[in-house]
Amino acid sequence: MIFTNSFDDIVRKKTFGACIMFTIFPAYILFSNKVWLWYLPFIAILILVLLYTYLKMPLKYEVGQNNVLICRRIGNIVINFQEIERVDRIHHDLLKNSTSGGAFGYNGKFNTDLGKITFYATRRDKLIMLTKKDKSKIILTPDQEDEFIKDLEKCINSQH
């Protein structure tokens, strides 16, 4: 089954701000300053970082017969059901004290109240945490969180 994910207001604002900061502001510097060649490597790095986060953002989640697939433009993530120990709903914002992330979502490892967790998320609410047997934790943010949990638990139980 396919589950969509959408941006929350915080991610929308941070994405808009990053796009302005990484594209329009450098363009202004480029064309307003006569010594613009000095800024070119800096601007290229900023645009590459923005492009990288765009390509790595989760587009949707798929619960298949044997695994959960985190679909991204490049580098899909596959989590086999045999690796999953628990599925939990998290009811509070784990990133409330975090200042990193936010442009096109939250991707990567973040230090939270619950320890170091890998996020493949596009929002800070509707959090679903997968705890793997190796005790690593992954956060996903499907829009249909109840259906996602039911479908995932049903598939995991049918594997055992």
79-94 pLDDT tens trace? 999 999 999 998 877 7
Mean pLDDT of 89-102: 74
Rounded to an integer, what distance in angstroms lies between the CA atom of residue 15 and that of residue 31?
24
The whole-model pTM stands at 0.84
Mean pLDDT of 98-123: 84
Token representation of residue 65: 């017969």
Q: What is the DSSP string of 40-64?
A: HHHHHHHHHHHHHHHHHSEEEEEE-
Q: pLDDT tens for residues 41-80? A: 877 888 888 899 999 999 999 998 899 999 999 999 999 9
Say whether pLDDT at 99 is over 70.
Answer: no
Average pLDDT, the chain: 86
Number of domains in the chain: 1
* pLDDT (0 to 100) of residue 3: 94
Mean pLDDT of 26-37: 69
Return the percentage of the chain with pLDDT > 70, whole number: 91
Report residue 102's pLDDT band, with 50, 70 and 90 as the boundaries. Answer: confident
- Location of structure tokens 């010594």: 35
Say whether pLDDT at 31 is over 90.
Answer: no
DSSP H helical ranges for the chain: 9-19, 25-32, 40-56, 145-159
Say whether pLDDT at 140 is over 90.
Answer: yes
Q: Which of 100, 95, 96 is nearest to 139 (CA)?
A: 95
Q: Which of 71, 75, 94, 69 is nearest to 151 (CA)?
A: 69
Give residue 23's domain range: 1-160
* pLDDT (0 to 100) of residue 135: 93
Q: Looking at residue 100, which CATH number applies to its domain?
A: 2.30.29.30
